[in-house]
Amino acid sequence: MIPVKRLEIVIDAPHAESITRLLGRHGLSGWTQMRGASGAGERGRRLADEITGVSSNHVIVTTCPPERLDELLEELRALLVRHGGMCLVSDALWLKH
Amino acid sequence: MIPVKRLEIVIDAPHAESITRLLGRHGLSGWTQMRGASGAGERGRRLADEITGVSSNHVIVTTCPPERLDELLEELRALLVRHGGMCLVSDALWLKH
Amino acid sequence: MIPVKRLEIVIDAPHAESITRLLGRHGLSGWTQMRGASGAGERGRRLADEITGVSSNHVIVTTCPPERLDELLEELRALLVRHGGMCLVSDALWLKH
Amino acid sequence: MDLGLIAGNLLTPPVLFFALGMAATLLRSDLEIPQAVTRGLSLYLLFAIGMHGGVELAAAGFAADALLPLAAGVVASALVPAIVFGLLKKRFGAADAAAIGATYGSISAVTFITACSFLDDRGTAWSGTMVAAMALMESPAILVGVLLARRAGVRASDDGGDGDGPREGHGSLLREAFLNGPVFLLLGSLVIGMLTGEKGWKAVAPFAYEPFKGVLCLFLLDMGLIAARRLRALRESGAFLIGFSLIVPLVNASLAIGVARLLDFAPGDALLFTVLCASASYIAVPAAIRLTLPQANPSLFLPMSLAMTFPFNVTLGIPLYMTAIDLLWRTA
Amino acid sequence: MDLGLIAGNLLTPPVLFFALGMAATLLRSDLEIPQAVTRGLSLYLLFAIGMHGGVELAAAGFAADALLPLAAGVVASALVPAIVFGLLKKRFGAADAAAIGATYGSISAVTFITACSFLDDRGTAWSGTMVAAMALMESPAILVGVLLARRAGVRASDDGGDGDGPREGHGSLLREAFLNGPVFLLLGSLVIGMLTGEKGWKAVAPFAYEPFKGVLCLFLLDMGLIAARRLRALRESGAFLIGFSLIVPLVNASLAIGVARLLDFAPGDALLFTVLCASASYIAVPAAIRLTLPQANPSLFLPMSLAMTFPFNVTLGIPLYMTAIDLLWRTA
Amino acid sequence: MDLGLIAGNLLTPPVLFFALGMAATLLRSDLEIPQAVTRGLSLYLLFAIGMHGGVELAAAGFAADALLPLAAGVVASALVPAIVFGLLKKRFGAADAAAIGATYGSISAVTFITACSFLDDRGTAWSGTMVAAMALMESPAILVGVLLARRAGVRASDDGGDGDGPREGHGSLLREAFLNGPVFLLLGSLVIGMLTGEKGWKAVAPFAYEPFKGVLCLFLLDMGLIAARRLRALRESGAFLIGFSLIVPLVNASLAIGVARLLDFAPGDALLFTVLCASASYIAVPAAIRLTLPQANPSLFLPMSLAMTFPFNVTLGIPLYMTAIDLLWRTA
Ligand SMILES: Nc1ncnc2c1ncn2[C@@H]1O[C@H](COP(=O)(O)O)[C@@H](O)[C@H]1O
Ligand SMILES: Nc1ncnc2c1ncn2[C@@H]1O[C@H](COP(=O)(O)O)[C@@H](O)[C@H]1O
Ligand SMILES: Nc1ncnc2c1ncn2[C@@H]1O[C@H](COP(=O)(O)O)[C@@H](O)[C@H]1O
Ligand code: NA
Ligand code: NA
Ligand code: NA
């Protein structure tokens, strides 16, 4: 069991690729992405109901070694400032296999 | 990074709106909702396979300032008692942006 | 509020049933499953785009009493070694209802 | 008894695909149909049957004799829940008794559609009035069921009582009965079919009519998968309810055939009326009941209608009822 | 004014299903259509209209007089954003003004399709050239809108500037304009329709042509649900923008009718050209703008086009424009 | 070599839509099709081709000479994995060699369907027997591949060995081979087509037959998107496997044409037989292999069949094989 930081990122569907590219640049090669989430936040309701993905969120879950968290969050924050979205960080244990 | 409580609520699809309204009444205006989850619990298997949503769960993730948690959970519990479902609470850090 | 271990398991769609059966054998009768997740990991990108589920992940969230965690994780690890996938463990409180 | 008719019904593509779906689940094949596809198919069927019925209604004009079957349907749909409630209340409690009552008072659009296609195959005529009857029979049972439960002391659903909720309390009852998604689409399509008549139908028929039976096959394949998955839950609910879910359609069908005979329906309409009375809802009612009677256990009423009554009606029920009608109408 | 034409348009199945969808949302019915079905239906419509247009283009051959409408369309689609930008920049800032401009400069394929079906019902001819014009008018408005915003100081979207991102920076602008999913499918189907001509069309028509109007009904039902859900966001954006989203189509339509008259379009093509100018995008533009102008607020431009301009055009606009064209072409 | 035939095949809507899909991914368009729609389309295709084949089989009757192609197909489908396994075992290990062998021994229903539509366009007859052959060739390769791997020491899949798991161990092998979702639907539809014959087909054809080619276009668009996304994974698997995935179909096709000549197949059936042998599975096998041989790396066998062999067969292979057959059958 390896201690890691669990990140849970919600982002507009069209920007999801920016997030996974960002993760890649920070050497994080593991993530899970769920599509078609609806939600509400500072920019109002997002209904996940239309054709273009503009009203849909993607949820991206990833893990990060604690020591690399700060530099990742800095860039992530810049991206969320520009595009909206959300990121929660919590502690977790990764089941080594 | 703001410490928050992360709530993860699973509820029958037809009752999902009750949850988000409840959140709204408690001044929580941010949440993310995923549809079409299957599952198992005290009320048996829920297969997420038919037409009406009666066998589907929605998963709602939200955050709550620690000081407002108790009053929220009280009402939430009442709702879960009536409708079934589940709520997990954990600690997280919200990436301010 | 009951302290529990929250498990978040990502697994190839065709193996998801092995996981829920495993949970059942350990007396865990509550879980939530989301389908059609894409992702990346040691076995490369999984695009969740084709017909057979071979490139799709399922996400399974469950809770486990702390005292039963170890024996569960042991078997789970064996399964993940064979099939790939991921498991994160964290602390949570279960809202009793 | 006309075994040929039963065999004939069993050997049509829709029924065989239903069986294929059940077989897939029972043999543990991993065949599955995404929920979005299931819902898309059901939207199509409701749209198509609604438009079709509306057009036929418009063509027939509102004759006074159309009112009789409609009234008979509504009355049946209101009486059944009351009877079932009376029978089951002691044993299962008011909430579950009311939910099962509502389930059996309301109708199954897919059973109805399968019966239409059965009549078409035989060349027996049927009228658009029955589609209107179907649309009208969706809701009264929900109302009656919930009102009975309330009178018996089952608390109304509300979530904190702030009153701004659009779907709780007493107001929600009528809403769920008539604004329930499938009911709304069916009624709406019926009205649009009536308003746009032959001309609208001509534009829509290559989508709503011609491929209909083929789509029905795929949909019934899916229903077979779904129904068989409920067999286990059904087994857990005990022999009494399993028996109940076979006897109720037979009793309701007998009564319906009697009424149809008295009211002198044509054989095709008699079959459809019978099927409406004998079938149980698994679309409109379960959703409405979850919202208005959350105390009721969905693993009772849903498997009963989905895994027993529906398969029975689709395979054996329809030709059985037809045989009885053929016999009675001939002798009379 | 030809009230009969308006009533006639209102009483066709597609428009009635749109109204049914809006009613469902406004009455708080829980009718909903899964997003995957919505997307499947829109793929079908783009595929079908693209193929159809391509085949008609191939049949007509590339006459020189086909170029005139195409050029007119592209110019209109580039001018509108500039005008709108000028009008709104002070009040709403450069990013939102540019986004709204791009929205109104681009086109709505569904409005266009509804207009085609309106013309077919009336027996008025129209040409494949207009489908090509539609395809060409999707993108210029996006380019113009974003370039205006950039000139006004709105920063280009980039995410850290490492340059390896396929969809950021200036390169992404052209990509979003022309490789945007719906635009790409529409243009691709158009080209395939031209390449495979009559023979390809014969193979595809039982899927792409015959059920088309029926599918359109289901799609518009869904659009009604979706549009009505945006009414609240629209109300919050204020009376000015609500008015704006009704006046812009009228102004654009008037100008378009004038141009069509000058260029001597046939009445059917004149209506389609008018509808293209008067309609606003809610498929291609919003997605492209989210990527190239993330500063723009999607709860302004999306509800305006989806919840006001689209319903207006589909119900009242089309017959209104037709009436004007009938009048003008007759007198001229 | 008949370049006209190749060009002709390349210029049909299905192949062009496949190319459009690949282009969309390669040009980084954001065009995408929801997975539920992809799965819905594939269910439709399996249902339709199964019913169609079953009806043709029923019409032809079970002549003794139908057994020959069936037997040839099954033998081919069992031999190919053994040969491929022998060739690749050293280099890639038993698990991957067996998986790739199973992939190439089994068949691609979509390639088969595209070949049918190619024959229809040319007016060349083909028989329902080949559909039955296709259905029978799905599974043996899976069995052979897995058994070879087991003999070579690859451990059976099991998850703790409690034995109550429905899909592990040796029992799961047969289950995966024959109860695999797509195989089950195809075989089931075939049997239903045979049972219901002409009459069932007439009811279902407006859905299963007439729109078929149009649906195939949309499906191949999607396959193009999906295949191109695997090109990167393929590049990583190295030049050897890329070459392998082009040479295997050519070798298998040559052998198949020889066998077809010896057994004196008609040209249409010869092409279909060749296509079955030359094509590789990306539906039935990958799913079955994931469950029975989890040690095999899906980023080898899936991209090979999906991103190389499938595109090759659909664009160049089919007309190439036809040219060879035309030549050989003429001279013979
Ligand atoms: N407090 C929150 N908890 C969970 N999800 C949130 C929260 N705030 C925002 N989100 C998600 O992030 C999306 C974008 O948020 P925003 O940019 O603030 O509108 C929303 O649509 C939600 O899905
Ligand atoms: N321990 C658990 N872990 C994760 N999800 C659960 C758990 N218990 C219940 N659920 C979810 O909550 C739904 C309703 O639970 P219940 O009302 O207990 O049947 C289930 O169908 C599951 O999706
Ligand atoms: N670090 C991680 N964070 C989140 N999800 C992961 C992570 N690693 C792997 N996954 C998920 O687990 C799946 C299988 O991982 P693997 O077997 O390592 O390829 C991936 O496709 C991801 O969806
Ligand atoms: Na009934
Ligand atoms: Na416009
Ligand atoms: Na093969």
User: What local confidence, expressed as pLDDT, does residue E169 receive?
Assistant: 53
Instruction: Outline where C32-94 has alpha helix (H).
Output: 69-83
The pLDDT confidence band at residue F108, using thresholds 50, 70 and 90, is very high
Per DSSP, the three-state class of B85 is: coil
Query: E272 and E135 in contact (C-beta within 8 Å)?
Result: no
Mark yes or no for CB contact A34/C88 under 8 Å: no
The pLDDT confidence band at residue D287, using thresholds 50, 70 and 90, is confident
Whether B73 has its CB under 8 Å from any CB of chain C: the answer is: yes
Distance CA F48, CA D137 (A): 35
- Here the ipTM equals 0.94
| Burial grade of D177 (CB within 10 A; 0-12, 13-18, 19 or more) | buried
Give B92→chain A minimum CA distance, Å: 5
Per DSSP, the three-state class of D55 is: helix
Mark yes or no for CB contact C50/F157 under 8 Å: no
Mark yes or no for CB contact E213/D204 under 8 Å: yes
The pLDDT confidence band at residue E56, using thresholds 50, 70 and 90, is confident
Distance CA F200, CA F51 (A): 9
Q: How much is the mean pLDDT over chain E? A: 90
Chains with ≥3 CB–CB distances under 8 Å to E: A, D, F
Distance CA D306, CA D108 (A): 10
User: What local confidence, expressed as pLDDT, does residue F171 receive?
Assistant: 67
pLDDT at B30 over 60: yes
**Structure tokens given for D125:** 């005529």
pLDDT (tens digit per residue) in E176-186: 788 989 999 99
The pLDDT confidence band at residue F154, using thresholds 50, 70 and 90, is confident
More reliable by pLDDT, F162 or F67:
F67
pLDDT at D157 over 70: no
Collect the ranges in chain C with pLDDT lower than 70. none
Mark yes or no for CB contact D28/F167 under 8 Å: yes
Whether D13 has its CB under 8 Å from any CB of chain F: the answer is: yes
The pLDDT confidence band at residue D81, using thresholds 50, 70 and 90, is very high
Amino acid in the structure at residue E79: L
Distance CA D249, CA D230 (A): 19
Domain of residue D268: give its range: 3-331
Tell me the CA–centroid distance for residue B31 and ligand 1, in Å: 5
Q: How far is CA C70 from the centre of its chain?
A: 15
The predicted model gives E143-163 an average pLDDT of 74
User: What local confidence, expressed as pLDDT, does residue D174 receive?
Assistant: 80
User: What local confidence, expressed as pLDDT, does residue A77 receive?
Assistant: 96
- Which ligand lies nearest to the CA atom of residue E298 in the structure? 1
User: What local confidence, expressed as pLDDT, does residue E99 receive?
Assistant: 96
pLDDT at D235 over 80: yes
Angstrom distances, CA of residue D69 to CA of D63, D252, D281: 11, 16, 20
User: What local confidence, expressed as pLDDT, does residue F168 receive?
Assistant: 47
pLDDT at F163 over 70: no
Tell me the CA–centroid distance for residue C57 and ligand 3, in Å: 9
The predicted model gives E231-260 an average pLDDT of 92
Give the up-direction half-sphere exposure of residue C74: CA atoms within 13 A in the CB hemisphere: 5
* Residues in C touching F299 (Cβ below 8 Å): 43-44
Chains with ≥3 CB–CB distances under 8 Å to B: A, C, D
User: What local confidence, expressed as pLDDT, does residue F161 receive?
Assistant: 42
Distance CA F174, CA F143 (A): 7
Query: A91 and A7 in contact (C-beta within 8 Å)?
Result: no
The pLDDT confidence band at residue F160, using thresholds 50, 70 and 90, is very low
A·C CB contacts under 8 A: 60
The pLDDT confidence band at residue E165, using thresholds 50, 70 and 90, is very low
Give the up-direction half-sphere exposure of residue C31: CA atoms within 13 A in the CB hemisphere: 24
pLDDT at A24 over 90: yes
Whether D302 has its CB under 8 Å from any CB of chain B: the answer is: yes
- Which ligand lies nearest to the CA atom of residue E81 in the structure? 5
Enter the pTM of the model: 0.94
More reliable by pLDDT, D155 or B74:
B74
> Phi and psi of C62, rounded to 5°?
-145, 170
Angstrom distances, CA of residue D210 to CA of A33, D320, F202, F209: 40, 28, 11, 12
Q: Whose CA is nearest to atom 1 of ligand 3?
A: A30
Indicate the range of C90-94, E62-66, E155-159 predicted with least confidence. Answer: E155-159
pLDDT (tens digit per residue) in F185-233: 999 999 999 999 999 999 999 999 999 999 999 999 999 999 999 998 8
Q: Is C20 in the pocket of ligand 3 (CB under 6 A)?
A: no
Q: How many domains does chain F contain in total?
A: 1
Query: E191 and D181 in contact (C-beta within 8 Å)?
Result: no
Q: Which domains does chain B have, with CATH numbers?
A: 2-94 (3.30.70.120)
**Structure tokens given for F281:** 């599975």
Whether C92 has its CB under 8 Å from any CB of chain A: the answer is: no
Query: Which residues share a beta bridge with B87?
Result: B9
pLDDT at D35 over 80: yes
The pLDDT confidence band at residue E55, using thresholds 50, 70 and 90, is very high
Tell me the CA–centroid distance for residue E153 and ligand 5, in Å: 25
Q: Which CATH number belongs to the domain containing residue E57 in this structure?
A: 1.20.1530.20
**Structure tokens given for F97:** 């060699």
- Which ligand lies nearest to the CA atom of residue D297 in the structure? 2
Give F36→chain D minimum CA distance, Å: 6
pLDDT (tens digit per residue) in F279-319: 999 888 888 888 888 889 888 898 999 999 999 999 999 99
Query: C69 and F301 in contact (C-beta within 8 Å)?
Result: no
Pocket test for ligand 1, best of A86, A88, A89, A90 (most atoms within 8 A of CB): A86
User: What local confidence, expressed as pLDDT, does residue D156 receive?
Assistant: 67
Whether F10 has its CB under 8 Å from any CB of chain E: the answer is: no
DSSP track, D96-158: HHHHHHHHHHS--HHHHHHHHHHHHHHT----THHHHHHHHHSSHHHHHHHHHHHHTTPPPP-
Whether A43 has its CB under 8 Å from any CB of chain E: the answer is: yes
Q: Whose CA is nearest to atom 12 of ligand 3?
A: C85
The pLDDT confidence band at residue F162, using thresholds 50, 70 and 90, is very low
More reliable by pLDDT, F276 or E173:
F276
Distance CA D280, CA E96 (A): 53
pLDDT at E167 over 50: no
- Which ligand lies nearest to the CA atom of residue D138 in the structure? 4
Contacts of range C70-75, beta carbons closer than 8 Å, 24 or more positions apart? C71/C26, C72/C7, C72/C22, C72/C23, C72/C26, C72/C28, C73/A1, C73/A95, C75/C22, C75/C26, C75/F160
Whether B21 has its CB under 8 Å from any CB of chain D: the answer is: yes
> Phi and psi of F95, rounded to 5°?
-65, -50
Distance CA D169, CA D147 (A): 12
Chains with ≥3 CB–CB distances under 8 Å to F: C, D, E
Q: How much is the mean pLDDT over chain D? A: 90
User: What local confidence, expressed as pLDDT, does residue F166 receive?
Assistant: 41
User: What local confidence, expressed as pLDDT, does residue E4 receive?
Assistant: 79
Per DSSP, the three-state class of D78 is: helix
* Residues in B touching C31 (Cβ below 8 Å): 39-40
Query: F180 and F289 in contact (C-beta within 8 Å)?
Result: no
Q: What percent of chain E has pLDDT over 90?
A: 70
Whether D40 has its CB under 8 Å from any CB of chain F: the answer is: yes
Maximum mean pLDDT: which of C9-23, E120-134, E150-164, F131-145: C9-23
